[in-house]
Amino acid sequence: MSEETIFSKIIRQEIPTPLLYQDELVTAFRDISPRVDSHILIVPNKLIATINDVTSEDELTLGRMITVAKKLAKEEGIDESGYRLIINCNSDGGQEVYHIHMHLLGGQHLGPMLSC
């Protein structure tokens, strides 16, 4: 059983964070320390620690994360200019919060895909 992170508290609104989107499967809110002009996190309501812990039962949720990213990109006005979706996994992937989340990044030119 994975340990809850701050994201579970945000999803349940025990820590008040403005939500950009919430339904029965996913929740979206702005990153607390945005790396680019538009930096949103899209998080499954269910605690899944890493992408390694995903099962076939999660496919609907993972698909919803993409459709919500598309909707929010349009609302942010970055759908035509473009954006990037990132899910980090474990330490080499740069994961800091062990409740999977998709970063929606845009609002400016993002440059090369990786800086190592």
Q: Could you count the other beta carbons within 10 Å of the beta carbon of residue 38?
A: 20
**Hey, CA dihedral for 51, 56, 58, 59, is it positive or negative?**
positive
Show the site string, 49-88: x = touches ligand 5GP by CB under 6 A, - = not: ---------------------------------------x
- In the complex with ligand 5GP, the residue whose CB is nearer, 25 or 85, is 85
- In the complex with ligand 5GP, the residue whose CB is nearer, 56 or 94, is 94
29 near ligand 5GP, judged by CB under 6 A = yes
31 near ligand 5GP, judged by CB under 6 A = yes
Collect all residues with Cβ–Cβ distance below 8 Å to 38 and sequence separation of at least 6: 76, 78, 83, 104, 105, 106, 107
Tell me the number of residues near ligand 5GP by CB under 6 A: 13
